Amino acid sequence: MPNQLELLPEKSVDLFINISSLHEMKIDQIRYYFKVIEKMTRKYFYTKQWKKTKNTYKNNVIIRQSDYPVNKNWRQIYARECKVQNMFFEELYDLS
């Protein structure tokens, strides 16, 4: 449950996965979740999102792959176009 994420101890998650949900949020919400991901995750973060999406429920905000607030200290293991759905990208980061 998203509203219970902060109840987890810091660095208690080995792998945090988010698939096709961040693009549904406003950018400030995305930033919040990236901070939570960094706080909770001791090893890896995998994400798969639309390369570009227009959020019609959030004032037509456009979210692009480059808009995700990846911490410069995260080591990118890979970033690639999704092989199954080419409108998606997938990235894996090492946060340790």
* Terminal alpha carbon distance of the chain: 24
**Which residues share a beta bridge with 94?**
44, 75
Tell me what percent of the residues of the chain surpass a pLDDT of 70.
97
For residue 68, pLDDT beyond 80: yes
Q: Which of 4-13, 28-37, 39-48 has the lowest mean pLDDT?
A: 4-13
More confident residue, 5 or 2: 5
Beta strands (DSSP E) in 20-87 are 41-50, 52-55, 61-64, 75-81
Per the document, the length of the chain is: 96
Domains of the chain in start order, with CATH, are 7-94 (3.40.50.150)
Q: Which of 21-25, 46-50, 70-74 has the lowest mean pLDDT?
A: 21-25
Model confidence, pTM: 0.91
Residue range 7-18: mean pLDDT, rounded: 95
